[in-house]
Structure 1
Amino acid sequence: MAQGQQAIRPPSDLQSVQSVLPPFDQHANSHSQPIDMTSVGAAYNLIDNIPTFMKELIAGGAAGGFAKTVVAPLERTKILYQTQYATFRSLGVTQTLLFIHRREGFLGFYRGNGAGVVRIVPYAALHFMAYEQYRRLIVDNWPDWTPPGALVDLMAGSLAGGTAVLCTYPLDLVRTTLAYQEGGSLCGCSMAVCASIAILMVRDPTRSFQAYTGIRDVFYKVVKANGVRGLYGGIGPTLCGIVPYAGLKFFVYERLKGCLSDEQQNNVFMKLACGAAAGMVGQTFTYPLDVVRRQMQVQAVGFSNQKYKGTLDGLVAITKAHGVKQLFAGLSINYIKLVPSVAIGFAAYDIVKSWLRVPSREGSRKERTS
């Protein structure tokens, strides 16, 4: 060691350490508070005291709202395809997006998204929560002589889908109505309302058209014209479509996740892949019913001359008028929208559930025997 230098040795007690660094302690005490571990523990206890079904509602709503906002531009384009706007069908996906941007600007991509989010948050919350509750109920009452299998997810998902739709369908009707109105400018009306009237009056100049300016306006005018029943226009094909779709979606997602290792199940990208595959499988089998549903919703708010008596009548009428291909109108863009939407929804739900420390499903006494 060089002359004049002294070895640095640790002090023998804590008091000596404090005496070495008094400025640091004084600064810390003057500008910050020590971490109160009691408060941290209280926060954890608060989370733990939230009922499980409330945690599932929160996780489902957050996941649904986030996913819906991400894919809103593609969702609007898909609705324009489904409702037989000849202009948009001839333009194609990319040109339709560019057309909307030119006519309405960036916010045009999100026209009707407010109503969509208002609908999807309670819908997704109820959907995921109901699925978990139905699943527990089915598993806990499953016969002892056989373990519950894949049928559980199919049944629980189907029941959850039907429950969520019945509770939130009027909001879906409003979302479709507002998204259907294409932007423009005419007569001092709002851009969306005026362009819708202009395009449809070219087709039928003798027809009177209803203009809707917002969520409340749609509710008021539909109920005034058709009663509360009008808010459920198209509920038949919706239920026929959502029951098998929701069942298949949860079934495929859970089966694919079950094939992964524990490490892979915690990987966000693997969850996204499983969710995307689940959405594509479910949507392919049930998409024609979704097309009929949109047509009946447009019919309910006065934007269509075509009248369908029911789901089967709608399927037959569309096939006769436009061919089987029309039953899958917009399916390609629906895949583009659905892949991120369902994938993000499932992944976000699982992540928020882990943040909220929702108990694992494997705790069920019946499932442990499967």
Structure 2
Amino acid sequence: MGSSQQGSTLSTNVAGYVDGSSAGREFSHIDALPVYVKELIAGGAAGAFAKTAVAPLERTKILLQTRTQGFHSLGVYQSLKKLLKHEGVAGFYKGNGASVLRIVPYAALHFMTYEQYRCWIVNNYSALGTGPVIDLLAGSAAGGTAVLFTYPLDLARTKLAYQVAETRGSLGNGGRNFHAQPLYNGIRNVLESVYREGGARALYRGIGPTLVGILPYAGLKFYIYEELKRHVPEEHQSSISMRLSCGALAGLFGQTFTYPLDVVRRQMQVEHLQPSTSGGARYRNTGEGLAIIIRYQGWRQLFAGLSINYMKIVPSVAIGFTAYDTMKSWLHIPPRQKSRAVSAA
């Protein structure tokens, strides 16, 4: 009964807030938060939920992308089976702590800055209208902003996921671990080791292809998602299945165009940990990385793990967008056409 009364009071407060009545002076703690803070919370929660849901596929994808010994010739199913055999269920989530630690601020910044960039563009460049071009521009800018602030955590996640420990018997034919280098003990250990070896610059190793890839990917993802939603009848706008479907297609198309850049990024992040397969050459930039991979590993390597990425991206982006929209409703974030007025109030 208390819950029912609380919900009634909350509804009254929200209604008063919108129409300006005296009831609007009473707010719950949620209603009192600034809109951008609510967007941060919604984005962070959506990112953590989506990332954890696909962690086993993410770990396997990284092993395939980086040509980890013992995995580069395996398919998705066999890789998952081998991980389960040698590392147990915990092996599926190795590096997921770093992944979630990164994705919470990343997704929070991504979604929040997307909304803020979009509002800023609409208010200052009215000639562009409010169509999908705005989503493309705002999404790209938001993706770049989020990457710059969280990239060292992505680097740590990749290094943790790349190392394969011998925990359940021999992994190799000779009874040895895959890698001779000491295993990292956690996120902090990775960041300290990388900084000690190469300074702050080393923490951003691979940032070039990341930015080149994220700008079109993030833009396309928001563009496609919002464009698909515009074609859905009003009565179905809040449907979970509709949001899942639009999110899945958005991630699928966006990732396809930018996947080779993701492969270059992963290899740049771990290249000092693996034996050279490129005649001793190292990647100095994105273009050189693409050329070297094609020359020494074959063009197919640019799409290594793409099948598993399709398996991962469909639920990941779909869950992420759906969770974000759901959190926006739960946190009473006003519709976009009212955002400016509410913020001003």
Shorter chain as normaliser: what TM range? Answer: 0.7 to 0.9
CA–CA separation in structure 1 for the residues paired with 2:124 and 2:183: 51
Letter of the structure 1 residue corresponding to residue 294 of structure 2: T
CA offset at residue 148 of structure 1? 3.2
Q: TM-score, normalised by structure 1?
A: 0.81
8 Å CA contact retained: 1:237, 1:293:
yes
Task: Tell me: CA distance 1:109–1:220, structure 2 relative to 1, closer, same or farther (3 Å).
Answer: same
CA offset at residue 222 of structure 1? 0.7
CA offset at residue 142 of structure 1? 1.7
- Post-superposition Cα deviations, 1:324-356, rounded to whole Å, max 9, x if no partner, equal 111011000000000000000000000000000
List structure 1 segments (4+ residues) > 3 angstroms apart after TM superposition. Answer: 32-45, 301-306
Q: Secondary structure at the match of 1:184?
A: coil
Task: Tell me: CA distance 1:34–1:284, structure 2 relative to 1, closer, same or farther (3 Å).
Answer: closer
Letter of the structure 1 residue corresponding to residue 236 of structure 2: Q
Letter of the structure 2 residue corresponding to residue 239 of structure 1: L
Corresponding position of 1:176: 158
Corresponding position of 1:198: 177
Task: Tell me: CA distance 1:39–1:258, structure 2 relative to 1, closer, same or farther (3 Å).
Answer: closer
Aligned mate of 2:80, from 73, 86, 97: 97
Corresponding position of 1:312: 287
CA offset at residue 39 of structure 1? 7.4
Larger radius of gyration: 1
8 Å CA contact retained: 2:164, 2:177:
no
The gaps in structure 1 that reach 5 residues or longer are 1-27, 202-208
Corresponding position of 1:278: 250
Letter of the structure 1 residue corresponding to residue 295 of structure 2: K
Q: TM-score, normalised by structure 2?
A: 0.87
- Say whether residues 1:260 and 2:232 are aligned partners: yes
Corresponding position of 1:242: 214
- Post-superposition Cα deviations, 1:92-135, rounded to whole Å, max 9, x if no partner, equal 11111111111111111101100100000000000000000000
CA offset at residue 163 of structure 1? 0.0
Task: Tell me: CA distance 1:178–1:142, structure 2 relative to 1, closer, same or farther (3 Å).
Answer: same
8 Å CA contact retained: 2:106, 2:146:
yes
8 Å CA contact retained: 2:163, 2:179:
no
RMSD over aligned Cα atoms: 2.7
CA–CA separation in structure 2 for the residues paired with 1:138 and 1:163: 16
8 Å CA contact retained: 1:210, 1:302:
no
CA–CA separation in structure 1 for the residues paired with 2:156 and 2:69: 22
Corresponding position of 1:166: 148
Task: Tell me: CA distance 1:329–1:38, structure 2 relative to 1, closer, same or farther (3 Å).
Answer: closer
8 Å CA contact retained: 2:86, 2:167:
no
Task: Tell me: CA distance 1:33–1:124, structure 2 relative to 1, closer, same or farther (3 Å).
Answer: closer
Corresponding position of 2:315: 340
Corresponding position of 1:227: 199
8 Å CA contact retained: 2:263, 2:302:
yes
Residue-pair matches, total: 321
Corresponding position of 1:5: none
Query: Alignment identity in percent?
Result: 56
CA–CA separation in structure 1 for the residues paired with 2:77 and 2:244: 25
Corresponding position of 1:19: none
CA–CA separation in structure 2 for the residues paired with 1:232 and 1:110: 24
- Say whether residues 1:59 and 2:42 are aligned partners: yes
Task: Tell me: CA distance 1:143–1:36, structure 2 relative to 1, closer, same or farther (3 Å).
Answer: closer
8 Å CA contact retained: 2:68, 2:162:
no
CA–CA separation in structure 1 for the residues paired with 2:159 and 2:3: 54
CA offset at residue 365 of structure 1? 7.8
Task: Tell me: CA distance 1:222–1:365, structure 2 relative to 1, closer, same or farther (3 Å).
Answer: closer
Within 5 A, what are the aligned runs for 1:31-70?
Answer: 44-70=27-53
CA–CA separation in structure 1 for the residues paired with 2:269 and 2:67: 13
Letter of the structure 2 residue corresponding to residue 276 of structure 1: A
Letter of the structure 2 residue corresponding to residue 130 of structure 1: T
